[in-house]
C-alpha cells in the first residue's frame, strides 16, 4: 500500500496526452475475441480493469499478442470454456460483460469477482440472461463471489432488464446476443441511465459489422441473430472521464493546460465536462484532437447538474464545487452508492475532512464553495475516482494532503499522479506506471 502527499500548487502548465479510454478498450477487446480472424487494437489502456478483461478473453480461447502500444487479438470461434475460474478482479464491467459472453462457449465457465456483489449487483443480468436460454447462477469459489455459467449458447427471444441499476447489464447482452440462435428483443423496464455507455457499445459493435437497433426512447433493443463479428483495426480514443481530473486541476488552480488525444466527436457522455467547465466560467478551447484550459482570472461559478447519465463525473464535479463562489447541487446520483465504494458517502466524509461544507442526501450532494480548504489524511475507500477527486481538491488546499492507498488509481488511470506532476503539481510519490 502506497501513500501520496499533495501540497497546494499554483500555476500548472504544460501538455499531457489523455489516457486511452478504459470503456472502449474493454468493449473492443471482447468484440475482437468474438471476431473470426485477427483484430488490431492501437493505443489500448493498460490498467487493472483492462488486464481483467484480457484475462477473461484469453481464458475463453482468444489469442493476444502485445507489442508497443498495440494488441493483436485473434478470436476463437466457437469460444472454449474456461478451464480455471476466470479472475475478473474488481472490474464490474469485465464481470458483467463476460457472463453473457461465457454463455456462448460450448462448456461451463466460472467467473470470480473480488468485491461485494451486494455493492455491484448482478442478479438482474442473470435473470435476464435466463430468459434467453443462458443458464447461470451465483456461487462462491474459495469464499470469493462467483457466477457459474453453463455455456452451450444463447437461444435468444424476448427478455427484460431494468435500466436504472447498471447500463453494463445491457451492454453485456448487446455484445453476446448477436450470436444467439434467434432474434433477441430486450425491453428496458425503467428509464435508461448512463445511456451514452450503451451508445458506446453500439458504436464499437458497428466497427465489427454487428447490427443492433436501439429505439429512440431507449425502451427496447432489437438484435438480429446469427451475426458474424468481422475483424477490425481500431484505435482506442482518449478518455474524457479520466482527462476530466486534469482539466479540473487546471481550472481550480487558474492554470493553462492542454490535453491531447481528446476527440470531441467520440461517443463519450463524459465529454460533458467541457460544458460543465464552461458553465462555471472556465475559459477553454476545443480543437480537433485536444482540449485546452486557459487561465480564468476569476472565481468559479457554482454548478447544478443532473448526474443520471454522467455518474463518473460526480467526483470531479464535487472537487470543482469546493472552489466555486456559491452553492452547487449534484442530483440524480443515487447509483453512485453501487460503485467501487459508496461514492456519495466517500465524497461526503473525505471532503469534510478537508473543511468542505457539504451535505449528502439519498440522491446527491450539496456543496457550499468559497471556504478555505486544508490538508487532511484522505482514505479513498479503494476507489480510483475518489482518490483522484480528493487529489485535485488538495491542489488548492492549505498544507499537505495525504492520499492513503493511492495505488487504487491503477484501476483506470495508472499515470494519474505522474501526469499531475508533469504539469507542475507538488506531489511526493505515486508512480504506478506499468
The three cell numbers of residue 168 are: 453494463
DSSP 361-378: ETTEEEEE-SS--B--EE
Distance (Å) of CA 225 to CA 11, 177, 231, 424: 56, 7, 18, 53
The three cell numbers of residue 361 are: 442526501
- Closest to 329 (Cα-Cα) out of 352, 301, 303, 351: 303
- Closest to 218 (Cα-Cα) out of 202, 195, 201: 195
How many residues are recorded in the chain? 434
In the chain, how long is the greatest CA-to-CA distance?
A: 62
Q: Is the dihedral of CA 321, 425, 397, 295 positive or negative?
A: negative
Q: Is the dihedral of CA 388, 392, 393, 399 positive or negative?
A: positive
365 forms beta bridges with: 330, 360
φ, ψ dihedrals at 264, nearest 5°: -65, -20
Identify whether 312 is a catalytic site residue. yes
3-state helix, strand, coil in the chain (%, to 5): 35, 25, 40
**Is the Cβ–Cβ distance between 223 and 180 less than 8 Å?**
yes
Is the link from the previous residue into 78 a cis peptide, with omega within 30 of 0?
A: yes
Catalytic position from the list 312, 342, 357, 433: 312
Residues annotated as catalytic (active site), given as ranges:
312
Amino acid at each position: 500500500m502506497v501513500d501520496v502527499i499533495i501540497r497546494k500548487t499554483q500555476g500548472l502548465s504544460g501538455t499531457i496526452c489523455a489516457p486511452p479510454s478504459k470503456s472502449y478498450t474493454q468493449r473492443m477487446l471482447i468484440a475482437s475475441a468474438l471476431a473470426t480472424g485477427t483484430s488490431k487494437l492501437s493505443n489500448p489502456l493498460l490498467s487493472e480493469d483492462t488486464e481483467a478483461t484480457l484475462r477473461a478473453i484469453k481464458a475463453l480461447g482468444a489469442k493476444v499478442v502485445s507489442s508497443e502500444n498495440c494488441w493483436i487479438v485473434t478470436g476463437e470461434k466457437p469460444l472454449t470454456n474456461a478451464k480455471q475460474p476466470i479472475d475478473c478482479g474488481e472490474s464490474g464491467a469485465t464481470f458483467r460483460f463476460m457472463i453473457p459472453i461465457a454463455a456462448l462457449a460450448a462448456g461451463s465457465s466460472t467467473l470470480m469477482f473480488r468485491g461485494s456483489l451486494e455493492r455491484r449487483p448482478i442478479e438482474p443480468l442473470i435473470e435476464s440472461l435466463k430468459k434467453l436460454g443462458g443458464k447461470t447462477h451465483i456461487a462462491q469459489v474459495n469464499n470469493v463471489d462467483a457466477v457459474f455459467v453453463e455455456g452451450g449458447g444463447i437461444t435468444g427471444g424476448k427478455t427484460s432488464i431494468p435500466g436504472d441499476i447498471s447500463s453494463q447489464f445491457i451492454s453485456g447482452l448487446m455484445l453476446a446476443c448477436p450470436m444467439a440462435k434467434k432474434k433477441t428483443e430486450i425491453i428496458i423496464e425503467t428509464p435508461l441511465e448512463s445511456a451514452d455507455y450503451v451508445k458506446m457499445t453500439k458504436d464499437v459493435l458497428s466497427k465489427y459489422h454487428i447490427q443492433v437497433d436501439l429505439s429512440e426512447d431507449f425502451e427496447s433493443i432489437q438484435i438480429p441473430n446469427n451475426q458474424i463479428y468481422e475483424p477490425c483495426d481500431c484505435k482506442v480514443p482518449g478518455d474524457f472521464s479520466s482527462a476530466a481530473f486534469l482539466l479540473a486541476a487546471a481550472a481550480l488552480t487558474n492554470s493553462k493546460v492542454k490535453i491531447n488525444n481528446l476527440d470531441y466527436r467520440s461517443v463519450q457522455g463524459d465529454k460533458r465536462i467541457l460544458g460543465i467547465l464552461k458553465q462555471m466560467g472556465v475559459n477553454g478551447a476545443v480543437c480537433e484532437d485536444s482540449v485546452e484550459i486557459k487561465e480564468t482570472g476569476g472565481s468559479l461559478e457554482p454548478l447544478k447538474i443532473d448526474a443520471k447519465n454522467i455518474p463518473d463525473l460526480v467526483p470531479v464535479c464535487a472537487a470543482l464545487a469546493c472552489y466555486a463562489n456559491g452553492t452547487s447541487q449534484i442530483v440524480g446520483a443515487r447509483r453512485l452508492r453501487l460503485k467501487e465504494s459508496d461514492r456519495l458517502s466517500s465524497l461526503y466524509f473525505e471532503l469534510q475532512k478537508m473543511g468542505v461544507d457539504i451535505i449528502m442526501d439519498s440522491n446527491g450532494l450539496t456543496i457550499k464553495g468559497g471556504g478555505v480548504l486544508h490538508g487532511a489524511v484522505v482514505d479513498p475507500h479503494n476507489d480510483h475516482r475518489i482518490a483522484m477527486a480528493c487529489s485535485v481538491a488538495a491542489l488548492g488546499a492549505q498544507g499537505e494532503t495525504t492520499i492513503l492507498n493511492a495505488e487504487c488509481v491503477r484501476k483506470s488511470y495508472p499515470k494519474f499522479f505522474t501526469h499531475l506532476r508533469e504539469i507542475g503539481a507538488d506531489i511526493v510519490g505515486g508512480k504506478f506506471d506499468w
